[in-house]
Amino acid sequence: MYFKFNSYLLFFLFMTLTTTEAQVGSKIDLENVDVETKALPTIVLFGKEYTFRERNKFIKDLLMSQFYLKGLTISLDLEEFITKRVFRFNHKGKVDLYLKRKKLPQNNKYNSFMLDGAAYSELNITRLVRTIQDVRIDSIQNGIKKRKKLLIEITELNNEISDLEISLDKYKNAYNDIIVSKKLSDKKYIQLQGLEKISVIQKKYKTVKRKIARNKRDLENLTLLVVSIY
């Protein structure tokens, strides 16, 4: 009887320990899964945080690029936390790049294109990526305001161009009619007067066209986006 009781007791203790170990093991697995999920890299776009699995590659490509040129293009696949919906963020144009709150100059240790410098840049980027805690993309408000102002000016100048073209055509037609109807003695005076007015319109037309070209150039060179790496 005593032997049976000890057998039951040992069996009970064995089952209890086994169950406890299994529960502890399940808990560790769940925590590992949870940690892995939380460890996915993220990026903050215009104040909202998204999962961005290719964040490190994006940082590497951006640092090694000519981010200060208007030909830069950015295309990112971002995932929302709750809905898991994936959408693409696209941008074309140069960006300001800040690293640890300091603006990165055009030529730096991360984008050297020299043969020896390339390996050095790669090493620096690898070291940097290991320390990244936060990446943020924001719009530059001054750039947005300047862009809006330039677009309004371009629209107004285009309207002025249209008015000048209409005026020029009408005046040329009226001038030709006057030349035909006037006496020969008056034609020379009217011709000089007409040519002078046409010349004034043409000069103004060229001035407005130059303003439009300058505004479009300024528009292309605007920096509308800032990428901050912490």
- 104 and 81 both lie in a single domain: yes
Q: What is the structure's pLDDT at 131?
A: 92
- 198 and 165 both lie in a single domain: yes
Written as six digits, the tokens of 94 are: 């140069």
Q: What is the structure's pLDDT at 32?
A: 31
Helix %, strand %, coil % of the chain (to 5): 60, 15, 20
Answer yes or no: is 174 within a domain. Answer: yes
Whole-prediction pTM value?
A: 0.67
Chain-centroid distance of CA 163 in Å reads: 36
- 165 and 209 both lie in a single domain: yes
Nearest partner of 65 among 112, 128, 119, judged by Cα: 112
- 187 and 113 both lie in a single domain: no
Whole-angstrom distance, CA of residue 167 vs CA of residue 163: 6
- 74 and 130 both lie in a single domain: yes
Match 């249209």 to its residue by tokens: 162
- 49 and 115 both lie in a single domain: yes
Answer yes or no: is 4 within a domain. Answer: no
Answer yes or no: is 108 within a domain. Answer: yes
Written as six digits, the tokens of 59 are: 């940082």
- 114 and 161 both lie in a single domain: no
Whole-angstrom distance, CA of residue 66 vs CA of residue 49: 26
- Strand (E) or helix (H) holding 220: helix 184-220
Tell which of 123, 139, 155 closes a domain. Answer: 139
Whole-angstrom distance, CA of residue 73 vs CA of residue 67: 9
- 178 and 127 both lie in a single domain: no
Answer yes or no: is 29 within a domain. Answer: no
Below-70 pLDDT ranges, the chain:
1-38, 113-118, 174-195
Answer yes or no: is 25 within a domain. Answer: no
Q: What dihedral angle (degrees, nearest 10) is formed by the CA atoms of 89, 95, 100, 102?
A: -160
What is the spatial order of strands in the sheet that 42-45 belongs to? 86-92, 73-79, 48-51, 42-45, 135-139, 225-229, 95-99, 102-103
Answer yes or no: is 2 within a domain. Answer: no
Q: What is the structure's pLDDT at 162?
A: 93
Q: What is the structure's pLDDT at 2?
A: 45
Tell which of 109, 139, 169 closes a domain. Answer: 139
Q: What is the structure's pLDDT at 194?
A: 64
Nearest partner of 44 among 181, 170, 168, 136, judged by Cα: 136
Tell which of 119, 139, 159 closes a domain. Answer: 139
Please give the tally of structural domains in the chain. 2
Whole-angstrom distance, CA of residue 151 vs CA of residue 144: 11
- 149 and 118 both lie in a single domain: no
Answer yes or no: is 27 within a domain. Answer: no
Q: What is the structure's pLDDT at 219?
A: 93
Answer yes or no: is 10 within a domain. Answer: no
Q: What is the structure's pLDDT at 11?
A: 41
Domain housing 76: 42-139
- 56 and 135 both lie in a single domain: yes
